[in-house]
Homo-oligomer: A and B are copies of this chain.
Amino acid sequence: MSRLEVTEKIITAKVTRGLKWADVAAKVGLSKEWVTAACLGQMTLDARQAGIVADYFGLSEEDQRWLMAVPYKGSLPTQVPTDPLIYRFYELISVYGTTFKELIHEEFGDGIMSAIDFKMDLVREPHDAGDRVNIQMSGKFLAYKTY
């Protein structure tokens, strides 16, 4: 699984050379959310994007080809994530999952929020009682239809 090895090279480069996701995203010219996910082995880059990422992290030409192949997605090693930051998102689904379901159905009828035609934006929200993480998600509603 060579795409995994490319991901590890990217992370090693980032840690040991003090690089930034925001920087590589700016070079690619896309959001930091999409570019980071791509560097972490979850999205597929085109030739231009892969070239920039390879340059930034010092990757080989073969690595660059792997960045252009569609990866086997799923970034976590366990069904229930152990890392506290990631677990909190899992907990939100556990607590609010049925609420998401009820409110989306009340507004749109039967269907789902797409996780493919989807984008998001994660920003720091300054606050007197301590800054907040603000995440805005937007996914196309897809309706179940009869046939």
Residues of chain A having any CB pair with chain B under 8 Å = 1-2, 8, 11-12, 15-16, 18, 20-22, 30-34, 36-37, 40, 42-44, 49, 62, 65-66, 69-70, 72-76, 78-120, 122, 124-125, 127, 129-147
Contacts and interface: CB of A to CB of B under 8 A. Distances in A.
Contact of A34 (B40, B130, B136, B147): B147
A111 B106 contact: no
A118 B92 contact: yes
Contacts of A76: 82, 93-94, 97-98
B144 A43 contact: yes
B110 A125 contact: no
Each complex incorporates copies of this chain amounting to: 10
Given A15-B66, A44-B110, A144-B116, A73 B89 contact: no
A144 B42 CA distance: 11
Contacts of A42: 95-96, 98-99
A120 B125 CA distance: 14
A89 B112 CA distance: 10
B81 A93 contact: yes
Nearest to A98: B75
A1 B108 CA distance: 22
B113 A100 contact: no
A83 to B, nearest CB: 5
A1 to B, nearest CB: 7
